[in-house]
A and B are shown apart, each in its own frame.
Chain A
Amino acid sequence: MTATADIASGSRPQGTGAIADFEIAFAARRRRMRTSWAIGAILFLIVFAFTSWIGDFFKVTQVSMPDGSREWRWIIPAGIPRLGEFIEKTIPALRWDTLGVDIAEWFWRWQIWMGLLFETILIAFMATVLGVIGGFVLSFPAARNLAPNRWVLLITRRYLEIARTVPELVWALIFVFCFSVGPMAGVLAIGLHATGALGKLYSEVNENIDMRPLEGVKAAGGTWFDQVRYGAVPQVLPNIISYTLLRFEINVRASSIIGYVGAGGLGQEFRVAISFQEYTDLSALFVIIFVTVMVIDYGSEKLRHRVIGLGERTS
């Protein structure tokens, strides 16, 4: 855009008629572009200044120099050596000749961790089931083309919006108070959030369906429920399964940290490791979660491709 403008303005031909009109229009357009760029840049700088002020981005802090004196430095370069030290502490000492013992020492709590990992995956599974049930049931009244009337549409859409706008961790804080510490609170929190997210995705799928099968069912005397069951559900099922598997992956990630507020799963171990200053545990936990998430992502991707292929074959 700007490139063509620079080249054209360098050699301006002295023409009449169409060329002159083009020149005038072009100059006007360039002026407009420049003003909007300037306004955009100024707005951006204002937002940048405001956010960096409120977010302490340019904070200066005192650091100890190697010779013992104290000096004022910008916090980011001052903090990076500390970050390096901390990351170094989390890396376990692995020597080649004693590798087995070292790894056993690194994963010294593996019995507890494996139990919690199993719990994490089960939390994700149950939350996905709850989210699918809630999202599936609510997605039909929340779709513009299927809702029985306007008020039902409005209420279900607002409910889904609130359920997905509030993060899982906040729901978990509330449910931990109500249902006491444990995986049940985590299941309900992630399930509620997943209901909101899946309900939106499903209702978008529902809005894109072919309405003719529904009209056929209606013509044969079907009720609203019959129309949805026999007209809409067969069309949306492959997409719904695909979204559900994607959501399961997201829920595994969510349930691996939700234990931080006491809602069950592996997340509570992060808190334990930091408060006991067992820093190598942090890297061990990270490795466990990384491998689990990778395996689940890979498996669900394979399954998703099969489901999509199945849908294409039958339709």
Chain B
Amino acid sequence: MSLTQSKIAAARRRVPLAFQAPLSVRIRRYALWAFFIGLFGWCLYDFNFSPARIWEGLGRLGTVMSFMFPPHVWDNWSDFSEVLNGLGETLAIAFLGTLLGAIFALPLSLLGAKNIIRQSILRLTVRRGYDIIRAFETLVLALIFIRAFGLGPLAGILAIAVSEIGTFAKLFSEAIENTSEKPVEGVKASGGSRLQQIRFGITPQVNPVILSILLYNFESNVRSGTILGIVGAGGIGFLLSDRIAAYRWDEAWSIIFLIIGMVYLIDWLSGLIRTRLIGGQEGRALK
């Protein structure tokens, strides 16, 4: 039995939708594509993406990239210690920012969880509050904190902490809402107070989740800690933007490579901690 042209035509007559979408769907699809392509083309024009400009830019990019090889090596200790200090400040911003954010977010997250606060007006107000805090960009917060605490890593720490309060409070309260009611009922049945129900019924369930959220956000804060220095809030970003502004591309590339190395190292370490602590936790829950 072989497939002939007439059989295909017969099948096309019998089930036309298998071969072609209906006209209205096709028109909508073409209109959507035309809109996107039109918008893209207009943007190309509006943003002045001329071939000459792209070509010139690529030439300069090539020059900049050529400074990557050979990589710059700092030969005296005072220059290198400056870079190490910048990396340390970035780590400090990420670590203390995450820690402070978590400390403030924990009580707030209890207020936003459905199974702890039953009264919905208070809970919904608190939740909108988290959204407003999360809407502040870390960089804008850093600009504000620099006015109050001066240039330096402290402004960065507080900027990360404040923007993380909103994120953590939201994630923690979702974690609390996803716990099982059964342990809580067990504590209640054996005469536990409301506080004891939370401490012995809910906390053991959310601890691994919270730890995992903390580690993940610490990783992402190391990345955001690298850019806060561009506005002057401490960290390696200050040195990087300084070297780029001075066109010392060889040093800038070396700093970028060090940042990438540090981010890899932190990701690897936090993966190690995560499997060690949380993997163990799950194993214990099964036994």
Contacts and interface: CB of A to CB of B under 8 A. Distances in A.
A122 B99 CA distance: 36
Interface in B80-102: 85, 88-89, 91-93, 95-96, 99
A177 B89 contact: no
Interface stretch (B41-49, B103-111, B113-121, B174-182): B41-49
B137 A253 contact: yes
Contact of A75 (B137, B149, B200): B149
B154 A59 contact: yes
A274 interface: yes
B60 A126 contact: no
Contact of A260 (B39, B49, B139): B139
A125 B39 contact: yes
A40 B95 CA distance: 15
A136 interface: no
A83 B145 contact: yes
Interface string A75-88: 11001101100110
Contacts of A52: 92, 96
Interface stretch (B1-9, B70-78, B220-228): B220-228
Contacts of B144: 83, 86-87, 282
Interface in A40-87: 47-48, 50-52, 54-57, 59, 75-76, 79-80, 82-83, 86-87
Nearest to A1: B204
Contacts of A47: 95
Interface string A212-245: 0000000000000000000000000000000000
B198 interface: no
A297 B259 CA distance: 31
A148 interface: no
Nearest to B276: A36
Nearest to A273: B143
B137 A256 contact: yes
A76 to B, nearest CB: 8
Nearest to B201: A3
A56 B139 contact: no
A290 B154 contact: no
Interface residues on chain B, size class: 35 or more
B93 to A, nearest CB: 6
Interface string A175-208: 1011110111001000000000000000000000
A123 B64 CA distance: 24
Given A86-B148, A257-B139, A293-B135, A3 B256 contact: no
A177 B260 CA distance: 21
B188 to A, nearest CB: 15
Interface string B223-246: 110110011001001001100100
Contact of B48 (A54, A123, A184, A294): A184
Given A162-B260, A178-B57, A55 B223 contact: no
Contacts of A54: 85, 88-89, 91-92, 153
B129 interface: no
Nearest to B224: A167
A173 interface: yes
B30 to A, nearest CB: 18
B147 A183 contact: no
Contacts of B140: 257, 270, 282, 286
A257 B228 CA distance: 12
Given A54-B89, A83-B148, A183-B47, A170 B256 contact: yes
A315 interface: no
Interface of B: 36, 39-40, 43, 46-49, 53-54, 57-58, 60-61, 64, 85, 88-89, 91-93, 95-96, 99, 132, 135-137, 139-140, 143-145, 147-150, 152-154, 156-158, 199-200, 204, 223-224, 226-227, 230-231, 234, 237, 240-241, 244, 247, 256, 259-260, 263-264, 284
Interface of A: 1, 3, 47-48, 50-52, 54-57, 59, 75-76, 79-80, 82-83, 86-87, 122-123, 125-126, 129, 162, 165-167, 169-170, 173-175, 177-180, 182-184, 187, 253, 256-257, 260-261, 264, 270, 274, 282, 286, 289-290, 293-294
Give the top 5 A-B pairs by smallest Cβ distance, nearest first. Answer: A55-B92, A83-B148, A51-B92, A179-B57, A55-B153
9 contacts: A1-B284, A3-B204, A54-B89, A125-B39, A167-B227, A169-B227, A253-B137, A260-B231, A282-B144
Given A57-B92, A167-B226, 20 more contacts: A51-B96, A52-B92, A54-B91, A55-B153, A56-B154, A59-B154, A75-B154, A83-B147, A86-B144, A86-B148, A125-B40, A162-B260, A165-B260, A175-B61, A177-B60, A177-B247, A178-B64, A180-B57, A187-B43, A274-B143
